[in-house]
Amino acid sequence: MPEREHDVVVFGATGFTGALTAEYLARNAPPETKWALAGRNREKLEQVRRRLGVEVPLLIADATDPPSLRAIAESTKVVITTVGPYILYGEPLVAACAQAGTDYVDLTGEPEFVDQMWLSYHEQAQRSGARLVHSCGFDSIPYDLGVLFTVNHLPEGVPLKLEGFVAAGGTFSGGTYHSVIEIMGRLRQGMKVAKERKAREPRPPNRTVKGIQGTPHNDPDAGGWVVPFPTIDPQTVLRSARALDRYGPEFSYSHYLVVKRLPVLVGMAAGLSAAVVLAQVEPGRSLLRKLKPPGEGPSPEQREHGWFTLRITGVGGGTRIVTKVSGGDPGYGETSKMLAESALCLAHDELPQRAGQLTPAVAMGQPLIDRLLSAGIEFTVLEDA
**How deeply is 171 buried, as exposed, middle or buried, from its count of CB atoms within 10 A (0-12, 13-18, 19+)?**
middle
pLDDT for residue 74 = 98
> How many angstroms separate the CA atoms of 129 and 131, rounded?
7
Residue 215 lies in a domain: yes
- Which of these, 93, 71, 75, 74, lies nearest to 18 by C-alpha position? 93
Residue 272: band (very low, low, confident or very high) from pLDDT cuts 50, 70, 90: low
The CA distances from residue 48 to 64, 105, 307, 365, 374, in Å, are 22, 21, 26, 32, 26
User: Does 238 lie in the same domain as 108?
Assistant: no
Report the share of the chain in percent with pLDDT over 90: 74
Is pLDDT of 280 > 90? no
> How many angstroms separate the CA atoms of 364 and 354, rounded?
10
Sign of CA pseudo-dihedral 142, 146, 147, 148: positive
User: Does 50 lie in the same domain as 102?
Assistant: yes
- In this structure, of 166-180, 243-257, 308-322, the range with the lowest mean pLDDT score is 166-180
Residue 1 lies in a domain: no
Q: Mind listing the pLDDT tens digit for each residue in 135-151?
A: 999 999 999 999 999 99
pLDDT for residue 171 = 65
Is pLDDT of 187 > 90? no
Pairing outcome for strands 319-327 and 356-358: unpaired
Q: What is the DSSP string of 129-157?
A: T-EEE---BTTBHHHHHHHHHHHTTS-SS
User: Does 159 lie in the same domain as 107?
Assistant: no
Residue 311: band (very low, low, confident or very high) from pLDDT cuts 50, 70, 90: very high
Q: What is the DSSP string of 56-67?
A: --EEE--TT-HH
User: Does 344 lie in the same domain as 232?
Assistant: no
Per the model's pLDDT, the better-predicted residue between 385 and 93 turns out to be: 93
CATH number for 361 = 3.40.50.720
User: Does 347 lie in the same domain as 247?
Assistant: no
Report the share of the chain in percent with pLDDT over 70: 89
pLDDT for residue 1 = 56
Residue 263 lies in a domain: yes
Residue 374: band (very low, low, confident or very high) from pLDDT cuts 50, 70, 90: very high
The CA distances from residue 302 to 52, 307, 328, in Å, are 21, 11, 11
> How many angstroms separate the CA atoms of 271 and 70, rounded?
41
Residue 186: band (very low, low, confident or very high) from pLDDT cuts 50, 70, 90: confident
> How many angstroms separate the CA atoms of 291 and 245, rounded?
46
Range of the domain at 314: 141-330+377-384
User: Does 151 lie in the same domain as 241?
Assistant: yes
pLDDT for residue 277 = 66
Residue 360: band (very low, low, confident or very high) from pLDDT cuts 50, 70, 90: very high
User: For the packed helices 174-185 and 16-28, what is the interaxial angle rounded to 10 degrees?
Assistant: 130
pLDDT for residue 84 = 86
